Chain A
Amino acid sequence: MAMTARQRAKVSLYVQAGIFVVAVAAVILAVDWKTIGTSVFNFSKIGPMFPDIFLVGLKNTLIYTALAFVVGLSGGLLLALMKLSSFPLYRWLATGYIEFFRGVPALLVFIAFGYGVPLAFGVQWDVNIVVMVSLGMVASAYIAETLRAGLQAVPKGQMEAARSLGMPHWRAMISIVIPQAFKIVLPPLTNEIILLTKDSSLIYVLGLTASQYELTKFGRDGISSLGAGLTPLLVAGAFYLVITIPLSLLARKFESRSARTKR
Chain B
Amino acid sequence: MNNSTGSTSTVQAAGVNIKDLRKSYGSNEVLKGISLTVEPGQVVCLIGPSGSGKSTLLRCVNLLEQPNGGTINVGEFEATDPDVDLNRMRRNVGMVFQHFNLFPHLSVLDNCTISQIKVLKRSKSEAAEVARHNLERVGLGHLADRFPDQLSGGQQQRVAIARALSMDPQLMLFDEPTSALDPETVGDVLAVMRKLAHEGMTMLVVTHEMGFAREVADRVVFMDAGVVVEEGPAENVISAPTQPRTKEFLRRVLDPTHIDVVED
Knowing A176-B103, A180-B104, A180-B105, say if A165 contacts B167 (CB, 8 Å).
Answer: yes
Residue interface bits B166-208, CB-to-A below 8 A is 1, else 0: 0100000000000000000000000000000000000000000
Which residue of B is nearest A157, CB measured? B101
Contact (Cβ within 8 A) B91 A179: no
Which residue of B is nearest A171, CB measured? B118
Q: Number of residues in A with C-beta < 8 Å to the partner? A: 21
> Given the complex of chains A and B, what is the CA–CA distance between A91 and B115 in angstroms?
30
Partner of B119, one of A155, A157, A171: A171
Contact (Cβ within 8 A) B149 A261: yes
Number of A-B contacts (CB under 8 A): 65
Is B2 part of the contact surface with A, judged by Cβ < 8 Å? Answer: no
Contact (Cβ within 8 A) A167 B119: yes
> Which of B88, B115, B160 is most buried by chain A, counting CB atoms within 10 A of its CB?
B115
Residues of A within 8 A of B99 (CB): 157
Residues of B within 8 A of A155 (CB): 101
Is A47 part of the contact surface with B, judged by Cβ < 8 Å? Answer: no
Is A128 part of the contact surface with B, judged by Cβ < 8 Å? Answer: no
Residues of A within 8 A of B62 (CB): 164
Contact (Cβ within 8 A) A166 B115: yes
Residues of A within 8 A of B105 (CB): 179-180, 183
Knowing A171-B118, A263-B148, say if A164 contacts B103 (CB, 8 Å).
Answer: no
Which residue of A is nearest B88, CB measured? A166
Is A161 part of the contact surface with B, judged by Cβ < 8 Å? Answer: yes
Partner of A163, one of B90, B94, B163, B164: B90
Residue interface bits A62-92, CB-to-B below 8 A is 1, else 0: 0000000000000000000000000000000
| Nearest Cβ on chain B to A178's Cβ, whole angstroms | 10
Is A175 part of the contact surface with B, judged by Cβ < 8 Å? Answer: yes
| Residues 125-157 (chain A) with a chain B CB within 8 angstroms | 155, 157
Residues of B within 8 A of A35 (CB): none
Is A52 part of the contact surface with B, judged by Cβ < 8 Å? Answer: no
> Given the complex of chains A and B, what is the CA–CA distance between A161 and B102 in angstroms?
8
Is B4 part of the contact surface with A, judged by Cβ < 8 Å? Answer: no
| Nearest Cβ on chain A to B176's Cβ, whole angstroms | 13
Interface of B with A (CB < 8 Å)?
62, 64, 87-88, 90-91, 93-95, 97, 99, 101-105, 114-115, 118-120, 148-149, 160, 163-164, 167
* A-B residue pairs, 4 tightest by C-beta: A166-B91, A165-B115, A161-B101, A164-B95
Known: A165-B114, A166-B87. 19 other contacts (CB 8 A): A161-B102, A163-B90, A164-B95, A164-B164, A165-B90, A165-B163, A165-B164, A166-B88, A166-B90, A166-B91, A166-B167, A167-B87, A167-B115, A167-B118, A180-B105, A183-B105, A261-B104, A263-B148, A263-B149
